């Protein structure tokens, strides 16, 4: 049985931001890596008008995503086909195809079908707040959690066919406050402005919530190259561009997660998403 990991993401580019390092690392190690992208990113901003128009953005982002996945080494990609809902309380929320308006039971069924097909032991989702409150991230969290519990139950979604499959571990991405503190310090030492000012960004979590830290220091350049493939999403004044690469590579040296559920017994903290699942461990 191959080791398989599924990362459930809201938009093209999210796969790089919270899971780029682990996708590189585990792909290189021979793990079957899966990215599910729930929406096409149609409501994203366009970094430069030469790159796309609102009408062409979805097609352009599909190509950007394919290139990013190639760089990361991701083995399997699936989409759920919803429309980007835009930021909370914007008109895109009300588009009839918006993921925010989707029937979540139906959306969960689509993801259950993928879990049964691809059989991941590990699923990575966002936290309950979608990491930072974006409607599509919140719904991506909801369906990932629902599919984690439902995919192994033969009485749930029988119309999705295939044999039930119980993933072993569910993780949420988790960016600890200490990383934010480190970022502030590195920027101050370099005499550079902090793109987030004095504020504690809403996407950080208390350090004690982090259960799992994966060393991905060897992959920071590749992860960054994959992120840069999303050209429409990286304007010149974004933190990705204004914070020097040398600082990003220190911040991105590990990717951090909260283990939200496990069906196997393993000790915490962990340094491997597959801890307890490798055959050498019995
Ligand atoms: Zn997103």
Q: Contact at 8 Å (CB) between 172 and 260? A: yes
C-alpha 213 to ligand 1 mean position (Å): 22
User: Residue 67 corresponds to which tokens in the numbers above?
Assistant: 């290139």
Across the chain, how many H-helices and E-strands are there?
A: 8, 9
User: Residue 51 corresponds to which tokens in the numbers above?
Assistant: 């790159």
For residue 160, the Cα-to-chain-centroid distance in whole angstroms is 24
> In CATH, what number is assigned to the domain containing residue 263?
3.40.50.10320
Domain count, the chain: 1
Comparing C-alpha atoms, which of 93, 172, 98 is closest to residue 130? 172
C-alpha 163 to ligand 1 mean position (Å): 31
User: Based on the number of CB atoms within 10 Å of its own CB, is 67 exposed (0-12), middle (13-18) or buried (19 or more)?
Assistant: middle
Residue 126 falls inside a structural domain? yes
C-alpha 144 to ligand 1 mean position (Å): 15
Residue 182 falls inside a structural domain? no
Residue 155 falls inside a structural domain? yes
Residue 57 falls inside a structural domain? yes
C-alpha 26 to ligand 1 mean position (Å): 22
Residue 180 falls inside a structural domain? no
Residue 189 falls inside a structural domain? no
- 8 bridge partner residues: 36
Q: Contact at 8 Å (CB) between 256 and 63? A: no
Tell me how far apart the terminal alpha carbons of the chain are, to the nearest angstrom.
13
26 pLDDT more than 70: yes
C-alpha 166 to ligand 1 mean position (Å): 27
Q: Return all residues near 211 (Cβ < 8 A) that are at least 6 apart.
A: 257, 258, 259, 268, 269, 270
125 pLDDT more than 90: yes
Residue with tokens 């060897």: 218
C-alpha 58 to ligand 1 mean position (Å): 14
Residue 187 falls inside a structural domain? no
196 pLDDT more than 80: no
- Residue 1's pLDDT band, with cuts at 50, 70 and 90, is confident
- Threshold 0.85, pTM exceeds: yes
C-alpha 14 to ligand 1 mean position (Å): 5
107 pLDDT more than 50: yes
- Residue 282's pLDDT band, with cuts at 50, 70 and 90, is very low
| Count of other CB atoms within 10 angstroms of residue 217 | 12
Compute and round to an integer the Cα radius of gyration of the chain.
18
C-alpha 171 to ligand 1 mean position (Å): 17
C-alpha 266 to ligand 1 mean position (Å): 31
Mean pLDDT of the chain: 94
Comparing C-alpha atoms, which of 15, 48, 73 is closest to residue 241? 48
C-alpha 10 to ligand 1 mean position (Å): 5
Write out the residue range of the structural domain in which residue 99 sits: 4-175+204-277
Residue 196 falls inside a structural domain? no
C-alpha 140 to ligand 1 mean position (Å): 10
C-alpha 13 to ligand 1 mean position (Å): 7
Distance between CA 212 and CA 258 in Å, rounded?
A: 6
Q: Contact at 8 Å (CB) between 212 and 256? A: yes
């Amino acid at each position: 049985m191959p080791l398989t990991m599924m990362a459930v993401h809201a938009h093209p580019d999210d796969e790089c931001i919270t899971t780029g390092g682990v996708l590189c690392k585990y792909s290189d190690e021979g793990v079957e890596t899966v990215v599910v992208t729930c929406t096409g990113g149609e409501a994203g901003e366009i970094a430069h008008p030469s790159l796309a128009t609102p009408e062409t953005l979805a097609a352009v982002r599909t190509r950007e995503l394919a290139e990013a996945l190639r760089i990361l080494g991701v083995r399997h990609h699936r989409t759920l086909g919803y429309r980007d809902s835009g930021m909370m309380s914007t008109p895109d929320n009300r588009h009839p195809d918006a993921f925010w308006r989707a029937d979540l039971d139906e959306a969960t069924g689509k993801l259950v079908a993928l879990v049964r097909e691809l059989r991941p032991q590990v699923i990575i989702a966002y936290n309950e707040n979608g990491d930072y409150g974006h409607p599509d991230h919140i719904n991506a969290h909801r369906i990932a959690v629902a599919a984690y519990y439902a995919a192994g139950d033969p009485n749930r979604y029988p119309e999705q066919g295939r044999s039930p499959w119980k993933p072993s571990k569910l993780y949420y991405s988790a960016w600890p406050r200490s990383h934010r503190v480190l970022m502030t310090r590195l920027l101050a030492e370099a005499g550079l402005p902090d793109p987030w000012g004095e504020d504690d960004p809403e996407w950080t979590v208390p350090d004690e919530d982090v259960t799992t830290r994966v060393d991905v220091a060897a992959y920071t350049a590749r992860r960054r190259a994959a992120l840069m493939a999303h050209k429409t999403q990286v304007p010149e004044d974004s933190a990705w561009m204004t914070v020097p690469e040398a600082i990003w590579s220190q911040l991105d040296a590990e990717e951090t997660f909260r283990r939200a559920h496990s069906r196997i017994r393993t000790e915490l903290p962990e340094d491997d998403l597959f801890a307890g699942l490798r055959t050498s461990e019995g």
